Amino acid sequence: MKLKVKAKLDKNFAPLALAVREMRKATEKEGQDLVIGVERNKGYLTTYRTRVFKDGTGHDDENFDFVERMAKALLWVVGGYKIIIAGSKTVGERIKEAYTYGGLRDFDVHFMERVYERPFEVEVRPLKDAPKDNEAASPVGRHLDGCRIGFDAGGSDRKVSAVIDGESVYSEEVVWFPKTNSDPNYHYQGILEAMKTAASHMPRVDAIGVSSAGVYIDNRIMVASLFLKVSDEDFDKHVKNMYLDVAKELGENIPIEVANDGDVTALAGAMDLNDNSVLGVAMGTSEAGGYVDPQGNITGWLNELAFVPVDEFKGAMVDEWSGDYGCGVKYFSQDGVIKLAPAAGIELDEKLSPAEKLKVVQGLMKQGDERAAAIYDTIGVYFGYAIAFYSEFYDIKHVLIMGRVTSGEGGVILLARAQEVLNKEFPELAKKIQLHIPDESSRRVGQSVAAASLPEIK
């Protein structure tokens, strides 16, 4: 695999974007079509069509390695409880074996079963019965009429705004500690207090919009790091319907819409840019994503980019949580910076927390240290190739990058290098996609107004 732009500190980096290109080229004359489908709540289904070598031609392992990465990527982009493989029984049966308890993708199976409250399955079909797309098309957000509450639940502070006809008339930020609290009443009272404060600055409450890290299905909390210490029993009993319960306390039949904070960030960016097809990527403790489609809709997809693979090198760093290699969390987060430090010749004190280690590298960057610059340079190369890979699943015109990792001069280097990758390796994408770093102040205000705009007032 030849890269036109090399990753300075990672000579083994093998971008999946190039693996896709190479597979297409290698199977042009003698390949067979294959369709991957992922089904989620309400029968929504998303497909990805590709081509692999014909079964039984000595490429079965190659086919499996490739399809396994693509199926995993699609699963974490859109989310679902069923993978459908149409076009190769040989590959399909091996994917089925991987997605079992104790199998290669055991973590993925358990995670998706918790989110969708259904047993996970893999179905193998002939190509003639390939699944077809069935997407959610209802627009969410950009509703600015009436008196609205916008709530943004962060891990270290919670933000709330009172918004009247699109203008924020009151905003506050309150420090809280949701990730270290095991009593769900702590979270409930904090959320309720914030909403009541915002409500007190308006004549009435017509709608409530919530932006929060985690996975939400039909406004119910399925998985969220804010409730890390809450027991499974308390989660099911007191947390799942928490936002719906809070809305009821503020009044009967107030429409509420809860969305992943990555999606709301992308929506805020789309509103600011006055355009659609926006992918937002936050590089902080982990990698978070959000997307606004060409019609201006939030899709209901998971957008869990932390678990989407970007590197096909099997010796790449393994994520401790999912047990998988080459996934976004180890490339576009503080872990990505820490991972590259030894290769850059920077020794970090092991006693420091990951956030403190990032600060050390950022401090060196401020001093103009070339070793620190090489880290951001490498992450920029990773990101340029990752954008091309994400383009396999998303229709992108704008990419917004944010989060602690992108602050300061490091973010500027990162963005410039990503742009170089697009220019040299993917000129067709470079013509279409613009990269942005939104400024912090507009993002903060924009996030709460975007959250408030989520529900439609009937």
| One domain for residues 51 and 159 | no
For the chain, the domain total comes to: 3
Output the pLDDT for position 444.
53
Sequence-distant (6+) residues with CB within 8 A of 408 are 362, 365, 366
Which structural domain, as residue segments, surrounds residue 182? 147-264
Asked whether residue 2 is assigned to any structural domain, the reply reads no
| One domain for residues 283 and 207 | no
Query: Across 116-241, where does the E strand assignment appear?
Result: 121-125, 147-153, 157-164, 167-175, 207-212, 215-217, 220-223
Output the pLDDT for position 141.
81
Output the pLDDT for position 445.
56
| One domain for residues 53 and 153 | no
Asked whether residue 137 is assigned to any structural domain, the reply reads no
Q: Starting at the edge strand that comes first in sequence, how are the strands of the sheet with 45-53 ordered?
A: 45-53, 31-39, 82-86, 121-125
| One domain for residues 125 and 232 | no
Where residue 300 sits, what CATH number does that domain have? 3.30.420.40
Of 229, 264, 299, the last residue of a domain is 264
Of 244, 264, 284, the last residue of a domain is 264
| One domain for residues 173 and 298 | no
Spatial separation of the C-alpha atoms in residues 389 and 17, rounded to whole Å: 5
Interval 204-252: pLDDT, tens: 999 999 998 889 999 999 998 899 899 999 999 999 999 999 999 999 9
Spatial separation of the C-alpha atoms in residues 280 and 266, rounded to whole Å: 5
Q: Is 189 left (phi over 0), alpha (psi -120 to 50) or beta?
A: alpha
Interval 142-153: pLDDT, tens: 899 999 999 999
Residue 367, judged by CB atoms within 10 A of its CB (0-12, 13-18, 19+), counts as exposed
| One domain for residues 196 and 310 | no
CB 457 within 8 A of CB 145: yes
**CA distances from residue 30 to 25, 54, 59, 86 in whole angstroms, order as listed:** 10, 7, 12, 18
| One domain for residues 245 and 277 | no
Output the pLDDT for position 455.
92
**Could you say which residues of the chain have pLDDT below 70?**
137-138, 440-445
Q: Is 237 left (phi over 0), alpha (psi -120 to 50) or beta?
A: alpha
Asked whether residue 10 is assigned to any structural domain, the reply reads no
| One domain for residues 172 and 230 | yes
Output the pLDDT for position 162.
97
Spatial separation of the C-alpha atoms in residues 2 and 63, rounded to whole Å: 20
| One domain for residues 240 and 299 | no
Output the pLDDT for position 161.
95
| One domain for residues 186 and 255 | yes
- In the chain, count H helices and then E strands: 14, 15
